[in-house]
Structure 1
Amino acid sequence: MTSNNPPRWLVVLAFLAIYIVWGTTYLAIAVGLQGFPPFVLTAMRCVVAGLLLLAWCLARGEKLPGRGTIGNSAVSGILMLVGGTGLVSWAEQYVNSGYAAIIMATEPFFFVLLDKKQWSSYFSNKWVLLGLLIGFAGIVLFFHYTGEQRPEVSMDTTMVLTGNGVLLLGAILWVVGSLYARNKLDHSHSNTLTTGLQLLAAGLFSALTAAATGEWGRFSFAQVPAAAWGGFLYLVVMGSLVAYMAFTWLITIRPPALVSTHTYVNPVVAVLMGWAFAGEHISLLQVLALLVILLGVLFTNVPNYKLMKAV
């Protein structure tokens, strides 16, 4: 799946995966944290998903690539999945799932700032700029929301602020890793193979991080409740195998800033899921912000809609 002109229906399904499915993973992380420390959770979900993908590739007769591709896959995977996903898991100990998704919605702006190769395209396209500005306005509206954070630290302002800073760092690292993967990976290999390598590398690095922070010493499989296991399995299948694979494929066939618009829709899904299943508060201001964010996504995608009509 390395063609620049893939079937339209496949592109649509991939965008649905990163828009909708990824939005639900913020709640799944919160559920998983009921039994798993953050980097233990990240390590296990990435290792399991990575091994499954690599086993599938080897069973189909694919051969492992050379050191260069393995190394580049490892670097990009660690940046995105440890720096991004792992830090989100850590921060969700202190902020609720919807709020975490809101802060991660800053990713498109870092794509525009860091993707120098696309600067001429981004800054000369009125639709992209208008969409990003409208999306940013929606995010600002979200930041007026001061709803409940994690009950056990709701009065600890320092940890809430630290969680916000960690989420912002996670967004930056995710963007850096995405751009690195786009520019450095050898796309002659299947997306499944390189994604498996990324996941496995990120899982192993997360396991080392968990060891360094003492998480393994505080963790016991016997004490993990059924709900946390359910969250873990959902993250492996829907988060890592479905949504992440869709993202790593889309980033090779569509402009990164366009693909990153999933971070506009994810808060919509995350807030609604948190409200419906975890009792997280949703205000009228948030509903208004969701509508503004969706409008930003629409405008940002206008050039792509025109391109698809022309094909």
Structure 2
Amino acid sequence: MNPSPDRRTELLAAGAAVVSVVLWASAFVSIRSAGAAYTPGALALGRLASGALALGAFCVVRRTGWPPRAAWPGILVSGVVWFGFYMVALNWAEQRVDAGTAALVVNVGPILIALLGNRLLGDPMPPRLLAGMAVSFAGAVTVGLSMSGDGGSSVLGVVVCLLAAVAYAVGVVAQKPALGSGSPLQVTAFGCLVGAVGCLPFAGQLAREVGEAPVSATLNMVYLGVFPTALAFTTWAYALARTTAGRMGATTYAVPALVVLMSWLLLGEVPGPVTLAGGLLCLAGVAVSRSRRRARAADVPARTGADGPPPPDGEARLPSGGRE
């Protein structure tokens, strides 16, 4: 039996979200290599330039035109704040705080996304979303504390991490309305281009450091641009256009768990039991936040020619437009 169109759309959106989360988790491993040879601004510019070139080539092949005028405010804000400022700030902060502290502070972002989405976009905040985010945040705190080193963080680094989390939240909430008129490819490609243009002041640093950096670091920078940026941001935009900002933000709580797993498999960093427990909490919270209450028979109105009362707040059916 083939799934209904709404169900098929929901499955595709969920698959796109998984691709984004996995690639963003892999980015932390690549940043550790590239960040040893490149300064934060140069790394951000190299990553965004690689992403913009990949997306631009795809736009030419697909004959994608310019985004509609209505999409440009969201593209500009997300491009400057999320693609540009966020990447520079996070690269800079991770040189001044340990990985655990960065994970703790940056994971405030999904909570801010839910709050801003509710306030500015009218997104619902159902109990399952709030409960799942609470469980995932507890897991992120557990992972962060288990990874934190002694004396490895500065107050300034923590503040910059917090600014990165705010930029991430603002960028996602600004991007959501743009996806109502522009396609995910358009919004991502031009947002990445805007971010790259905003990072052009670091072009001199990038030119100097490319000649001095090892090939492995440069390849990691290109990988960051093509996969965690060009591909992952596009699949993210596709999924975001079909669900709420809050639910998408909660999905990124799977990143800490995947980072722990990838560090274990690729870097040989064996996680302790506390770290593993925190990762499992992150995944459990994501599962809760993305689940839906099953309708009981008593909840389904008899069909008497009317549609019956609306479903409870936050548990709305997926309408034809795709938004939950």
Amino acid at match of 2:191: Q
> Hey, what does 1:41 align to over in structure 2?
43
> Hey, what does 1:128 align to over in structure 2?
129
Query: What SS class does the counterpart of residue 199 from structure 2 fall into?
Result: helix
- Of the candidates 193, 215, 219, which is equivalent to residue 186 of structure 2? 193
Q: Distance in 1 between matches of 2:232 and 2:194?
A: 18
Q: Does 1:181 pair with 2:183?
A: no
Query: What SS class does the counterpart of residue 37 from structure 2 fall into?
Result: coil
**TM-score by structure 1 length?**
0.82
> Hey, what does 1:226 align to over in structure 2?
215
Amino acid at match of 1:110: L
- Give the C-alpha shift of residue 309 in structure 1: 9.5
> Hey, what does 2:300 align to over in structure 1?
none
Instruction: Give the 5 Å matches for 1:20-99.
Output: 20-65=22-67, 69-97=71-99
Q: Does 1:243 pair with 2:245?
A: no
Contact 1:50 1:199 in 2 (8 A): yes
Q: Which runs of 5+ in 1 are unaligned?
A: 149-153
> Hey, what does 2:312 align to over in structure 1?
none
- Of the candidates 99, 110, 120, which is equivalent to residue 108 of structure 1? 110
Contact 1:18 1:262 in 2 (8 A): no
CA deviations 1:8-31 (Å, max 9, x no partner) are 442232121122121111111111
Amino acid at match of 2:133: L
CA RMSD of aligned residues (A): 3.0
Amino acid at match of 2:186: L
| Pair 127,222 (structure 1): closer, same or farther in 2 beyond 3 Å | same
Amino acid at match of 1:206: C
Q: Distance in 1 between matches of 2:73 and 2:152?
A: 40
Amino acid at match of 1:198: G
Flag the structure with larger Rg: 2
Q: Does 1:206 pair with 2:207?
A: no
- Of the candidates 168, 172, 191, which is equivalent to residue 162 of structure 2? 168
| Pair 226,60 (structure 1): closer, same or farther in 2 beyond 3 Å | same
- Of the candidates 276, 280, 284, which is equivalent to residue 273 of structure 2? 284
**TM-score by structure 2 length?**
0.79
Q: Distance in 2 between matches of 1:248 and 1:105?
A: 20
- Give the C-alpha shift of residue 4 in structure 1: 7.7
- Give the C-alpha shift of residue 70 in structure 1: 4.0
CA deviations 1:197-255 (Å, max 9, x no partner) are 100110121222x36xx8458x3322111220221122122111221111122222111
> Hey, what does 2:254 align to over in structure 1?
265
- Give the C-alpha shift of residue 104 in structure 1: 2.3
Q: Comparing both structures, which one devotes a greater share of its residues to helix?
A: 1
Contact 2:68 2:181 in 1 (8 A): no
| Pair 270,162 (structure 1): closer, same or farther in 2 beyond 3 Å | farther
- Give the C-alpha shift of residue 292 in structure 1: 1.5
Query: What SS class does the counterpart of residue 274 from structure 2 fall into?
Result: helix
CA deviations 1:40-83 (Å, max 9, x no partner) are 11112212222332343234333324666445412211111123
Higher RCO (C-alpha 8 Å, min separation 6): 1
- Give the C-alpha shift of residue 155 in structure 1: 5.0
Contact 1:107 1:175 in 2 (8 A): yes
Aligned length: 295
CA deviations 1:88-113 (Å, max 9, x no partner) are 11122234556534432222211222
Give % identity: 22
